[in-house]
Structure 1
Amino acid sequence: MSDRKTAVVVCPGRGTYNKAELGYLARHFPDAALLAAFDAQRAAAGQDTLTALDGAERFSLARHTRGDNASGLIYAATLGDFLAIDGERIEVVAVTGNSMGWYSALACAGATSPEDGFTIANTMGTLMQEALIGGQLVHPFLGDDWRPDPARKAQLLAIVEGIDARPGHVLALSIDLGGMLVLAGNAAGLDAFESAVEPVDGRFPMRLGNHAAFHTELQEPVAERGREALGTHLFGQPALPMIDGRGAIWWPGATDTAALRDYTLGHQVTRPYEFTRAITVAAREFAPDLFVVTGPGTTLGGAVAQSLVLADWRGMGDKAAFKALQARDPLLISMGLAEQRPLATGQ
């Protein structure tokens, strides 16, 4: 009897390549020729190569978290980790991602080539940085025990709706991220929300540096430029099912590639990204043994775990239940954690 486990792979988005991740590609990327191809694309565009950014002597918030740099670094780190998964131990049955992680998911699932996926991620990150429309903040609606609290979530979203209705204010849900709400809007909208809610843990609401108003209608100019720059030829049939930011599944052999491009460069850019729903659909439709979160970073694992609690997956109703199950038979592997990485790579 085989002990090979099934897994849904989850690709992280912006904000996951930070100081601790400096050198991540040098440590983990498994294909020197492919990394050189990514570097060649960036050099041809007059951009710093990933090798230079990843190999910098020290991490720079201003340099490494810019959209035109962060997107390429995160995409490459994610794809490298996906390629490093030990196929004899783990059978990947589906792929999903958070926000920018959708571009990585396309490549991991085979809907784009690695090089074309890089073109998409790097182009969209660059366009976002050039426009830099609006901003983002994050605020929790779950308590420390992760017990579902739909009333608190509804209360916060009502505040968002009220602020957005004010003249000169723009504010909307950007990402439904486990126990967190990522909100996006213009300066007036973000300021108003910060004034309207009680601070939590001395950290929230937290502004996200070098982030634009992703997944809102403010990004329509960026989406339009992306559609001008990125043709349908970049997109193909996936080899693995993909769960998008609506919770919709794109199936191998049944994907309309023009529709895939339209979603990727349309709805995915300008409408809320429902990450919690994506994880819920992944759990219920594919019933994997594992959720494998690729690097870089380690922050997305918490959102995956919270999403599973919110979905009542395997009867988990709170943080304690998740931790007990995780301790007994791990269901979540974060490849950005040195102690968990060997569970995915076998090394």
Structure 2
Amino acid sequence: MSQASTASNATSARERLLIVCPGRGTYNAPEWGTLARHAAGTEWLARFDAQRRKAGMPSLSELDGEIPFRQSLHGRGEHASPLIYACALADMLAIDPERYEVVAVTGNSMGWYIALAGGGALGYEDAHHLIGTMGQMMQETLVGGQVLYPWVDEQWRPQWSLRRDLLALVDQLHGEQGAQLFLSIDLGGMLVFGGNEAGLARLAEALPPQERFPMRLHQHSAFHTPLQQEVREAARKRLTDGPFQAPRLPLIDGRGHIWSPWSSDPHALWDYTLGEQLVAPYDFTTALRVGVREFAPDRIVIPGPGATLGGATAQALIQLGWKGLDSKKTFQARQAEDPCLISMGIPAQREWLLR
């Protein structure tokens, strides 16, 4: 057999991966130090740190390794977002390209910005600038907030009537006594609602208490709702479409739309990212469905930090019946035997993918 044939067979034997980038809220106290472990001494992190020092902010290396973790500091948008991006980037760069082929990239909410870097639509430093700028703008305005509520049962099986009731409740409360409420993110077996304080207060009163839920998300604005219109307009003036380019890998956005390397208009990609994406619901479940059905991955990979997106992703896969998954029990059994969902924030699972 020729060397060319051998190389071709090795390439075709690579496992196909769908990358799902994490959103806000995934870097917390347990994740402090992740960046130091996975990216210390890299040239790209040094450049990120230099960008932040020039802007008068603590570097990511300092936040991750020298400044003790405080939620009030590390959870702020201008710090949390770049930290999450840098940790996720370190994980994506660590995947062994000889054993794995990334066939598409998507993400949850802020994870869309990370996907732009992972898929090659933005350079690493340009993505860092975008993510840091958007995180700071969101923090400075901090309009409204988000509430998380599940609609699946204990086995993560969908309860469609409950979902319909929750969406109807939000429609009913919106506009009453100054309440503004919207669907923010369709997140697997959970719905994230965004609104103003009056709306969130009325929603919290109306939702049946369920263990930790309804859960108010710390230092989160009303992302992906019309309440972000002011941020949208400011961002479009501040961030130009210059750095955007056609992606190197297919990207799946928060509508389930595929941005192909062969046909994507960079200006249209900028327009969506700093337009509809900011003020309309982000449908993570649909993005995942498109990724699974259109690209037929062998495994789904969630870069770190943390592993909080794993549950929502598994719930969405159960709704799809992917690889025979129909409950939390079957998912856990499958994971124990041969993981189809790999969270790189879990050290043992991260090892699967390393060079």
Normalising TM by the smaller chain, what interval?
over 0.9
Between 242-251 and 164-173, the greater mean CA deviation after superposition: 164-173
Equivalence for 1:264: 273
Equivalence for 2:351: 342
Distance 2:255 2:353 in 1: 27
Distance 2:43 2:255 in 1: 35
Q: Structure 1 segments of 4 or more deviating over 3 A?
A: none
| Equivalent residue runs for 1:189-200 within 5 Å | 189-200=199-210
Alignment CA distance shift 1:31-1:91 (3 Å): farther
Equivalence for 2:263: 254
The sequence identity of aligned pairs, in percent, is: 53
One of 289, 304, 313 as aligned partner of 1:280: 289
One of 241, 247, 251 as aligned partner of 1:238: 247
Equivalence for 1:174: 184
One of 205, 215, 219 as aligned partner of 2:228: 219
Deviation at 1:31, TM superposition (A): 5.8
Distance 1:31 1:278 in 2: 34
Distance 1:109 1:81 in 2: 14
Distance 2:286 2:105 in 1: 14
Equivalence for 2:103: 93
Deviation at 1:37, TM superposition (A): 0.9
One of 28, 32, 50 as aligned partner of 1:18: 28
Q: Structure 1: which 5+ runs fail to align?
A: none
Is contact 1:292-1:344 (8 Å) kept? Answer: no
Equivalence for 1:73: 83
One of 60, 64, 76 as aligned partner of 2:70: 60
Distance 1:11 1:40 in 2: 24
> Which amino acid is the alignment partner of residue 156 of structure 1?
L
Alignment CA distance shift 1:101-1:212 (3 Å): same
Q: Structure 2: which 5+ runs fail to align?
A: 1-8
> Which amino acid is the alignment partner of residue 69 of structure 1?
H
Deviation at 1:4, TM superposition (A): 2.2
SS of 2:247 mapped into structure 1: coil
Distance 1:138 1:101 in 2: 17
Q: Number of aligned pairs?
A: 345
> Which amino acid is the alignment partner of residue 309 of structure 1?
I
Structure 1 position 164 matched with structure 2 position 174:
yes
Distance 1:194 1:68 in 2: 28
Is contact 1:30-1:83 (8 Å) kept? Answer: no
Distance 1:31 1:273 in 2: 35
Deviation at 1:57, TM superposition (A): 4.6
SS of 2:69 mapped into structure 1: coil
Distance 1:34 1:155 in 2: 47
CA RMSD for the aligned pairs?
Answer: 1.2
SS of 1:234 mapped into structure 2: coil
SS of 2:201 mapped into structure 1: helix
TM-score, with structure 1 as normaliser: 0.97
Is contact 1:134-1:186 (8 Å) kept? Answer: yes
Q: Deviations over 1:257-300 (max 9, x none)?
A: 11100100011111111001111110000110000100011100
